[in-house]
Amino acid sequence: MAAPAILLFVATCIAQFISAVKGNDTVVNTNNNNSMIRGATHTIPVDDSSLVTSDAEVDHGHKRHHKNPFPPDRKKPSHHDENHENSFDFYVFSMTYQPEFCWEKHETPEGCHHPKQTWDRLTIHGLWPNNDDGSYPQSCSNEKFDLSNLEPIREELEQEWPNIKALPNSASHGDFWEHEWSKHGTCTGLSQLEYFSHALEKLVPTPSIVKDAEEQHTAVKKDDLLAVYGGAQLAALVCKKDYLSEVRVCHQKETDGNVGERMDCPEAILRASSCGSEIRIASFQKEEEGKGLAVE
């Protein structure tokens, strides 16, 4: 009796094993490119479409992206992250008051000893690409400054964008323009002639209230000077020890990098304002104070 029972038990086990194997064979791989999910004991082919319904799956009314192109260890690139030509938001146009520059430098620059009459005013300091967040690009290419490119406007540059550190007949007179081009102009996407020409076009005459104050040895009210430039949102007045040093205004950047119309300056630019309610005006000739020499 024991032998038949044992044979029956063995036959039953074999039948159950065969049935299990056949059951697993019912899973069919319908796509040769399917992914593989590894279980504890079996490797079962699964269709990828069962994992992701689309590139962006709806989750409580919001799109949830399964593929993150910028993992946590990578910062999403911004047009402000690197220095690229024409990658900025607006221009700052800075004008410097040359007599005050000589005061600041204690008349060390060569031009302060023999200043020209045309320098006794606000002249161009620079045309600077800037970003709304207060950052700015600089030295965006290795394009060398070539003074011969500026030959068509050279005479005007001498008058409106002078290098008071070196007289026009000095070999280093073009160093100021070279510096401004290398640091700022290379980031505009403009040619050298275009860059300097645009700056010349944006220079406005020195306000009469500035010249009157210089001649009469009086001060200018800050609000009055701001009004000349359009108001407190349109200009930053920079002073050194109560003396007017620079006036900075902002210009829109056109899509091709050209200089556009005046605009309100962002707060980052306006914070550079450092003048008090009354602004003093320096002069090249201050004999009574032992400063400056006669203007040529």
* pLDDT the model gives residue 284: 84
Distances (CA, A) of 199 to 25, 182, 196: 79, 15, 5
Inform me whether the pLDDT recorded for 285 exceeds 90. Answer: no
pLDDT digits (tens, 9 = 90+) for 181-216: 999 999 999 999 999 999 999 999 999 999 999 999
* pLDDT the model gives residue 60: 31
DSSP 246-261: EEEEEEEE-TTS-EEE
Burial (CB < 10 A; 0-12, 13-18, 19+), residue 80, is middle
The first and second tokens of residue 169, run together, are: 């007949």
* Residue 204: alpha-carbon gap to chain centroid: 25
pTM of the model: 0.69
Please state the length of the chain: 296
| SS3 assignment, position 232 | coil
Inform me whether the pLDDT recorded for 26 exceeds 60. Answer: no
Whether residue 185 contacts residue 254, with contact meaning beta carbons closer than 8 Å, is answered with no
* pLDDT the model gives residue 17: 53
Mean pLDDT, the chain, whole residue set: 76
Alpha helices by DSSP H, the chain: 2-24, 98-104, 110-113, 154-160, 175-183, 192-202, 208-216, 222-228, 267-270
Percentage of the chain exceeding pLDDT 90: 54
